Amino acid sequence: MPLMRQMPMEWQNIYSHVIKEERRGIMAGISLNGAYNHFIQDYVSKDVAHADTHRKDELRDVYKSIARINKNSPLYLLTDDDKSRNDAIEIKERARQLQGNIIGLNNQEDKLSLDHTSGYTSDEEKVVASYIGKTPDEDIGKTGFVIEVSSLASAQVNTGRFLQKDSFGLPAKDYAFDVRVGKQEFEFQFSIYQTDRNIDIQDKISKLINKANIGLASNIIEDSQGRSALQITSTKTGLRAGESSQFEVYESSSGLAVGSVAHLGLDQVSAPASNAHFTLNGEEKSSISNRFTVGGKFELTLQGPTTTEPVFVGVKKDNEALKKHISSLIDNYNGFVKDAAGDKDVKFKSDKLKSEIVGIAKQYMSTMTDTGINLEADGTLSIDDELLTQAISGAESDISLAPVKQFSSALIDKAKEISVDPMKYVDRPVVNYKNPDNKDTSSPYITSEYSGMMFNNYC
């Protein structure tokens, strides 16, 4: 079985035993599917990182890296034991997780970016802004703009007739009415019984509308005299070109009893939908929603009209987000170093793996100390919170943080290298060196050595 071939030898023995016992009927309570699920859950990677989704050019780079290693690599003898295979798989998984964690620190297109910026406004009670651009280096993102809001976008509201709650207004029959939302039409059918009062009918229709989930919300309101009315509100605001309303309610032509629309006043528009009206740097604009984007750089949410003075919208460096980013970067590095140092196996070159990772930190340490990042005796990194805050808040923060960005990039490159060839950290004696005169020949048997080690003794 393909699954069995991918298991280490001791797992195969257990798995074969389960199958034999299943056939004998001794372990009838254990499902064979349960055995499959057990091995799959323990053996297959449980997480999928952002770094695992590759474009064609990225996959092509991985292939070229493997081919380049094969051209210069001697022929090794891989030991036939499950421990070496498991070590290599774990090394690859750790490198993959390190790469994914660093890349996943932010969602900007430049995955190594430390340029955390956030939008702000001079009056957040009127306008709230968030910055969604890549970097504030273009016109509107760099200089900001002013906005004046004259009116907000609003939803359509239909308020029905106010009726005495305990009165009986409609005879007992099966009723129907239609609702048009946009270009779609919906029919609502309901029954009225002899005991149904006005409040019962209103409650019944309100529940029907809310349960239908067609872009309308309904509730029952009361006036000062204790009478009740059904109120229907569109969940969307504004009107597009050519539209006169968000929704319409009218009597049905299905053949069922009519009169519910007129009796309850469901077609009475108390507040029509309207668009938001505002100016950007003095230029008149409108929007069907109070939430929209400007220039692909800002996402604005209008809170209210600006009655006194315009609101300025701009960007500022998000120091807290940047600080959290750097702390997460150091935590991921420390976790990888500790995992590598914790593995003590004769055939696993943990010291080699650790020294290469720590070597990257040492390379950038002379320039990272000013940001409060220090190298400890065990190879891990620590952060001086006060110095890091000063470096981030300083006028020349981009220059002082450049080494941190370079360190982040170097860690990702190293993680990619480990993922391509994790077997170099497992003991593998050299059998034959490549012919130095034959530089253009790659060995098809070496390509992705680690991918074949799960296929244990299948020949």
Q: Is 263 helix (H, G, I), strand (E, B) or coil?
A: helix
Check whether 339 has a pLDDT greater than 60.
yes
State in words which class domain 155-271 has. mainly beta
Q: What is the pLDDT of residue 427?
A: 67
What is the domain partition of the chain in residue ranges? 1-44, 49-110+321-452, 117-153+275-317, 155-271
Q: Which of 35-44, 96-105, 306-315, 357-366 has the lowest mean pLDDT?
A: 35-44
Is residue 110 very low, low, confident or very high in pLDDT (cuts 50, 70, 90)? very low
Q: What is the pLDDT of residue 353?
A: 78
Q: What is the pLDDT of residue 36?
A: 45
Distance CA 391, CA 118 (A): 18
Check whether 177 has a pLDDT greater than 50.
yes
Check whether 120 has a pLDDT greater than 80.
yes
Do residues 445 and 452 make contact, with C-beta atoms less than 8 angstroms apart?
A: no
More confident: 169 or 162: 162
Average pLDDT over residues 396-404: 72
E-strand ranges in 238-375 read 247-251, 269-271, 276-280, 283-287, 291-294, 298-302, 311-317, 373-375
Q: Pick from 426, 419, 431: which is nearest to 63 by CA?
A: 419
Tell me the one-letter amino acid at 358.
V
* Angle (nearest 5°) at CA 140 between 134 and 146: 130
Check whether 6 has a pLDDT greater than 60.
no
pLDDT digits (tens, 9 = 90+) for 187-206: 999 999 999 999 999 999 99
Q: For all residues of the chain together, what is the average pLDDT?
A: 77
Is residue 436 very low, low, confident or very high in pLDDT (cuts 50, 70, 90)? low
Please report the sign of the dihedral spanned by the C-alpha atoms of residue 104, residue 108, residue 111, residue 116.
negative
